[in-house]
């Protein structure tokens, strides 16, 4: 069945790992009548965690999509992974949703991934709320969790549902908006009833706060509320809708999904109050922070964005589509704006987890699936005609963890390559690249877990053994003083001989200037037509330095003199002479090794600040700054040699018990000497010996 824009809601469920998102998603599908019973994550049968890797590890790795029909609305829910390694599956759901609920474990309060997601949502201006879980546990505490939310995000959370009791005496929730109670019924759907006397006062206080929040939605409502101290039901609804869309309020819900509690009032809120695609826009920001927005409007010509690509064992390639304007019809044609190419749209589906349901059309605001399109890729824009829209791509973080890989058996290299292409298509935070300089295929992602899971999948599905090692660093070589050298290439072997003599002077250039070639020949000592040969030779010499065979940079090379032979000279002879002259000159120019220095940004809870700082100084890092970013999180900026950061995601994880995060980017090359340089030279020699043996 197809739903029109005004009847659609898109809600992403996100938050720190293990806060109960998948269990909640399962509960919502059960309470919404989609599945006959709610399974546990431990059973491996939930709708949200359905892939072999999720079932095996009992954590979410991929986003899942399913929908509930409630009060005539289609509510698309996304279950997302909590581990930061899989943030590439969270971001597309943020883009596709008009409302995000952050799950917070009622025992521990707001945890670091939730704080990071909050910052991400801030940058998207996305309406959001909280769902507090696990209050049936003895350690659960509703008030403390509310306080923690208040303090960490500097906002006033507004409870829409509150718990009745906690721990063993947890009985259910009170729906403050609709003024009724929902009682636990074991595994059966919760039962509606009157608010028990003992919770009447708490409910009344919460209702007062909710009405006051609703009044914030609109100046007229605020005036009336201040005047009369009350609002009517319709006004409360309207106020909440408006205040929420304007990010003025942050609703809070309570759910104990394993006991089917708190689900019905949340579904009602999602259907009635939560922002939906109607009257909103697709908002994205470019790298410069400029805002791009397109109204979500069914009356405009078709425009849709591919938010995700998956390969399903049974259904093949699936492209997840968010329709932003117009409507997308099955068995139709559209223009792939990103590729400037006609795209044949075959069958169209909605899905309940991995179960696909064929539909005829998808209206603006809805999310669905196109199957078996070979050419569609994540971030492609589909439109009716060119020149109207081209959506900004998803804004994903850069990979921070890299591993070099090769197939254990050389014959499997191609198969490995094919799989890596596909893995990168499915997850845009996963990259692979052949590094010609270090002769390695390097795969990178957001963390060790993500990489491990991808490698395990290769092993399981492709039956390929893959070897991994720490990637080699791309060092450079340069010189520190001027030097000159001459070289004569001369060979006399029957027939034509070879002759060329070159005199070079080399001098250091400022860092980053790479290379400059100056022809300072006067009077034709080397004829003009041989000069390109000389430059080729110099470049060959620079491609592998004399210290450890790394590329040479930041050198000025001046050809000052030479000699030629009218018969035996050739471009080749001058090339060989120049290459050798360069090498000879380099040896006399006090060469040095350069290593890449990275700009590192680390986010840590302040209790780990000291440990992270001292670890960085042990890694030859230079701290450039430190500041508090709120929520008890500190940001550290430092410059650190790349060689020290090759396993930083693992190190930081162990220092901060998995709570820290970081990003890195290349900044500049800096000289190294002493033992550090000696080790690099030794390792390079060992590597060349091994390559020669292979
Ligand atoms: N007591 C109690 N346990 C819960 C509740 N919600 C979830 N759990 C349990 O918490 C564990 C983690 O639940 P999941 O639903 O897998 O959590 P998640 O947030 O999806 O985890 P990731 O996908 O790894 O981020 C499971 O054992 C659930 O049964 C709750 O409200 N009360
Ligand atoms: Mg999960």
Structure confidence by residue, pLDDT tens digits, 173-220: 999 999 999 999 987 999 999 999 999 999 999 999 999 999 998 899
- What are the residue boundaries of the structural domains of the chain, listed by start? 7-195+249-279, 288-383, 401-469, 477-589, 594-676
Q: Which CATH number fits domain 7-195+249-279: 3.40.50.880, 3.40.50.300, 1.10.8.60, 3.90.226.10?
A: 3.40.50.300
How far apart are the C-alpha atoms of 97 and 84, rounded to whole Å? 19
How far apart are the C-alpha atoms of 463 and 441, rounded to whole Å? 19
Instruction: Name which residue sits closest to atom 9 of ligand 1, judged by CA.
Output: 20
Q: Which fold, 401-469?
A: Alpha-Beta Plaits (3.30.70)
Measured in angstroms, how far is the CA atom of residue 87 from the centroid of ligand 1? 18
Q: pTM (2 decimals)?
A: 0.89
Mean pLDDT by 10 residues, the chain (694 residues): 95 97 98 97 97 96 98 98 96 98 96 91 93 98 96 94 97 97 92 97 97 93 92 95 94 97 98 96 82 93 96 91 97 94 95 96 98 94 88 92 93 92 95 88 94 92 91 95 96 82 97 94 91 96 94 96 92 96 97 96 94 96 91 91 94 91 92 94 86 71
Which of 256, 252, 19 shows the shortest CA–CA distance to 150?
252
Torsion angle of alpha carbons 290, 295, 301, 302, nearest 10°?
Answer: 80
Q: Which CATH number fits domain 594-676: 3.40.50.2000, 3.40.50.11540, 2.60.40.1930, 3.30.70.240?
A: 3.30.70.240
Q: Tell me if 82 CB under 6 Å of ligand 1.
A: yes
Q: Tell me if 394 CB under 6 Å of ligand 1.
A: no
The pLDDT assigned to 35 comes to: 98
Q: Tell me if 257 CB under 6 Å of ligand 1.
A: yes
The pLDDT assigned to 147 comes to: 96
The pLDDT assigned to 631 comes to: 74
Measured in angstroms, how far is the CA atom of residue 21 from the centroid of ligand 2? 5
The pLDDT assigned to 496 comes to: 77
The pLDDT assigned to 257 comes to: 97
The pLDDT assigned to 175 comes to: 98
Task: Report the percent of the chain where pLDDT is more than 90.
Answer: 86
Measured in angstroms, how far is the CA atom of residue 22 from the centroid of ligand 2? 4
Q: Which ligand is closest to the CA of 44, given by its number?
A: 1
Cα 235 from chain centroid (whole Å) = 40
Measured in angstroms, how far is the CA atom of residue 570 from the centroid of ligand 1? 75
Which of 250, 233, 279 shows the shortest CA–CA distance to 8?
279
- Go through 255-289 and write b for each residue having 16 or more CB atoms within 10 A of its CB, e for each that does not: bbbbbbbbbbbbbbbbbbbbbbbbebebebeeeee
Instruction: Name which residue sits closest to atom 28 of ligand 1, judged by CA.
Output: 20
Instruction: Name which residue sits closest to atom 10 of ligand 1, judged by CA.
Output: 20
Whole-number Cα distances in Å, 114 to 146, 626, 650: 14, 21, 21
Q: Tell me if 19 CB under 6 Å of ligand 1.
A: yes
Q: Tell me if 262 CB under 6 Å of ligand 1.
A: no
Tokens 């430092």 identify what position?
A: 638
The pLDDT assigned to 381 comes to: 95
The pLDDT assigned to 284 comes to: 84
Maximum distance among all Cα pairs of the chain, rounded to whole angstroms: 112
Instruction: Name which residue sits closest to atom 14 of ligand 1, judged by CA.
Output: 20
Q: Tell me if 20 CB under 6 Å of ligand 1.
A: yes
Measured in angstroms, how far is the CA atom of residue 260 from the centroid of ligand 2? 17
Q: Which CATH superfamily is domain 288-383 in?
A: Translation factors (2.40.30.10)
How far apart are the C-alpha atoms of 554 and 642, rounded to whole Å? 20
For Cα atoms 421, 425, 426, give the angle at the middle one, nearest 5 degrees.
120
Tokens 């303090």 identify what position?
A: 151
Architecture of the CATH domain 477-589: 2-Layer Sandwich (3.30)
Measured in angstroms, how far is the CA atom of residue 41 from the centroid of ligand 1? 7
The pLDDT assigned to 629 comes to: 80
Q: Tell me if 350 CB under 6 Å of ligand 1.
A: no
| CB distance 546 to 591 below 8 Å | yes
Tokens 């289609």 identify what position?
A: 74
How far apart are the C-alpha atoms of 303 and 322, rounded to whole Å? 9
List of E strands, 384-472: 401-407, 431-435, 440-445, 466-469
Q: Tell me if 256 CB under 6 Å of ligand 1.
A: yes
Domains 7-195+249-279 and 401-469 share a fold: no
The pLDDT assigned to 694 comes to: 65
Q: Tell me if 134 CB under 6 Å of ligand 1.
A: yes
Q: Tell me if 16 CB under 6 Å of ligand 1.
A: no
Instruction: Name which residue sits closest to atom 5 of ligand 1, judged by CA.
Output: 134
């Amino acid at each position: 069945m197809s739903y029109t824009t005004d009847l659609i809601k898109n809600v992403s469920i996100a938050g720190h790992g293990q806060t109960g998102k998948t269990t909640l998603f399962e509960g919502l599908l059960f309470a919404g009548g989609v599945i006959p019973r709610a399974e546990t994550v431990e059973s491996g049968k939930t709708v949200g965690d359905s892939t072999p890797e999720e079932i095996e590890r009992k954590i979410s790795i991929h986003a899942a999509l399913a929908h509930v029909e409630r009060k005539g609305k289609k509510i698309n829910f996304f279950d997302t992974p909590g581990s930061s390694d899989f943030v590439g599956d969270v971001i597309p759901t943020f883009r596709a949703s008009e409302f995000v609920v952050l799950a917070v474990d009622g025992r521990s309060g707001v945890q670091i991934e939730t704080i990071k997601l909050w910052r991400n949502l801030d940058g998207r201006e996305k309406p959001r709320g909280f769902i507090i879980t696990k209050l049936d546990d003895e350690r659960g505490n509703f008030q403390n969790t509310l306080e923690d939310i208040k303090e960490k995000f500097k906002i006033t959370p507004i409870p829409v549902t509150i718990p009745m009791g906690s721990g063993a005496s947890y009985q259910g929730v009170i729906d403050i908006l609709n003024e009724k109670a929902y009682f636990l019924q074991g595994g059966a759907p919760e039962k509606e009833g009157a608010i028990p006397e003992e919770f009447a006062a708490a409910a009344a206080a919460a209702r007062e706060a909710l009405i006051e929040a609703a009044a914030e939605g609109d100046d007229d409502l605020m005036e009336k509320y201040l005047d009369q101290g009350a609002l009517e039901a319709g006004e409360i609804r309207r106020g909440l809708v408006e205040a929420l869309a304007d990010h003025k309020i942050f609703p809070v819900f309570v759910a104990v999904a394993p006991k089917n509690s708190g689900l019905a009032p949340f579904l009602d809120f999602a259907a009635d109050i939560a922002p939906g695609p109607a009257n909103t826009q697709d908002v994205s920001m470019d790298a410069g922070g400029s805002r791009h927005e397109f109204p979500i409007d069914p009356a405009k010509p078709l425009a849709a964005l591919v938010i995700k690509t998956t390969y399903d064992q049974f259904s093949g390639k699936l492209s997840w589509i968010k329709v932003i304007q117009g409507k997308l019809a099955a068995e139709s044609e559209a223009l792939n704006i990103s590729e400037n190419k006609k795209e044949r749209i075959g069958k169209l589906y909605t899905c309940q987890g991995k179960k696909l349901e064929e539909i005829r059309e998808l209206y603006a605001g809805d999310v669905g699936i196109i199957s078996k399109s070979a050419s569609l890729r994540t971030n492609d824009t589909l439109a009716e005609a060119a020149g109207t829209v081209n959506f900004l791509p998803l804004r994903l973080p850069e990979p921070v963890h890299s591993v070099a890989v090769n197939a254990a058996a050389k014959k499997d290299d191609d198969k490995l390559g094919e799989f890596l292409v596909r893995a990168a298509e499915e997850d845009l935070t996963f990259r692979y690249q052949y590094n010609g300089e270090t002769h390695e295929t390097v795969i990178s992602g957001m963390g060790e877990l993500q990489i491990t899971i991808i490698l395990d999948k290769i092993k399981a599905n492709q039956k390929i053994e893959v070897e991994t090692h720490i990637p080699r660093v791309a060092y450079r070589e340069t010189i520190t003083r001027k030097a000159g050298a001459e070289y004569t290439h001369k060979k006399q072997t029957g027939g034509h001989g070879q002759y060329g003599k070159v005199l070079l002077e080399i001098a250091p250039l400022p860092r980053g200037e790479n290379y400059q070639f100056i022809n300072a020949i006067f009077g034709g000592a080397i004829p003009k037509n041989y000069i390109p040969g000389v430059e080729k030779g110099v470049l060959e010499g620079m491609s592998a330095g004399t210290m450890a065979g790394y590329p040479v940079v930041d050198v000025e090379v001046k050809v000052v003199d030479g000699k030629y032979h009218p018969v035996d000279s050739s471009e080749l002879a001058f090339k060989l002479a120049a290459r050798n002259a360069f090498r000879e000159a380099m040896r006399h120019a006090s060469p040095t090794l350069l290593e890449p220095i990275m700009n590192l940004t680390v986010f840590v809870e302040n209790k780990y600040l000291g440990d992270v700082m001292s670890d960085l100084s042990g890694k030859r890092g230079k701290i450039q700054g430190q500041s508090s970013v709120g929520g008890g999180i500190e940001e550290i900026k430092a410059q650190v040699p790349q060689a020290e950061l090759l396993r930083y995601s693992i190190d930081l994880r162990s220092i901060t018990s998995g709570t820290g995060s970081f990003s890195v980017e290349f900044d500049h090359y800096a000289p190294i000497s002493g033992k550090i340089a000696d080790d690099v030279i030794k390792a390079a020699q060992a590597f060349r010996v091994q390559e020669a043996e292979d």
